[in-house]
Amino acid sequence: MLSMNSFFQNFKTINKMAKVTVNNNEEVIDLKEFANTGRIPPVGKWYQALVDHELVVFKKEKVTGREILIAAGKKPPECFTLYLQGKGCAPDRIPLDEVVDLIGRGVEIFYTAPPEVFFYDMDDEPETTDAKEMTPRQIMVAAGVDPNKHYLVQVNADGSQEKYKGRADEHIKMRCPKMKFFSVHDGPTPLSFSNI
């Protein structure tokens, strides 16, 4: 993993393009150049910015964090945390649905990091955690399932299943995209009697 200084040094040599053209020879505004020279980008143009090492271009001044990630090929966007590095500012985290004003914030570059929150389903109910690892016991307790009477099953992307019967305290690395779990009752099945 790169330090912040190494990360930003890598970008000094990548973005040398001050003017790029698109359809009908329309000028593309380099947001980093404008931020570095203290100028405010004009309205109604195309705008280019770096997201990690990807040059992305937008036709509008305001875009969401989700749109930025998708334009940079970061899919699904929920699997990334987006940051904005503005001129002379500390990096700001940009939530997926936050609108970024490309011409009003002194945008230099965007960069991504692993997600801060993981989404998962437990018994078909959506759950979230900021933990990088959880045990089956923790996953079940968070969902209101008694781990003393149930065990956890993870459904993998390929449809295969990982059973955690007898392994309630084993660590599971949380990952993206969304993980799926379900609980299985562990013990005798109660009988019900009905009138015949």
pLDDT in tens, 148-196: 999 999 999 999 999 999 999 999 999 998 999 999 999 776 666 665 5
Kindly report the average pLDDT of the chain as a whole number: 85
Length of the chain, please?
196
> What does the alpha-carbon distance between residue 125 and residue 82 come to, in Å, rounded to a whole number?
26
Q: Which helix (H) or strand (E) holds 56?
A: strand 54-58
Helical spans, DSSP H, in 95-162 = 136-142
62 contacts 100 by C-beta, under 8 angstroms: yes
Higher pLDDT, 39 or 19: 39
Tokens standing for 60?
């509008």
pLDDT at 193: 60
55 contacts 4 by C-beta, under 8 angstroms: no
State the average pLDDT over residues 54-73: 95
Query: Could you give the percent of the chain with pLDDT greater than 90?
Result: 67
41 contacts 47 by C-beta, under 8 angstroms: yes
pLDDT of 51 over the 90 cut: yes
pLDDT at 86: 78
pLDDT at 11: 34
Q: State the CATH architecture for 118-185.
A: Roll (3.10)
Q: Which helix (H) or strand (E) holds 4?
A: helix 4-14
- Whether 4-113 and 118-185 share one fold: the answer is yes
Lowest mean pLDDT among 55-59, 103-107, 112-116, 159-163: 103-107
Domain ranges across the chain: 4-113, 118-185
Tokens standing for 32?
């980093």
Output phi, psi for 9, to 5 deg: -65, -35
DSSP state of 137: H
Lowest mean pLDDT among 11-15, 104-108, 126-130: 11-15
State the average pLDDT over residues 51-60: 92
The letter for the amino acid at 185 is H
Confidence bin at 19 (pLDDT 50/70/90): very low
> What does the alpha-carbon distance between residue 92 and residue 85 come to, in Å, rounded to a whole number?
7
Confidence bin at 108 (pLDDT 50/70/90): confident
Q: State the CATH architecture for 4-113.
A: Roll (3.10)
123 contacts 145 by C-beta, under 8 angstroms: yes
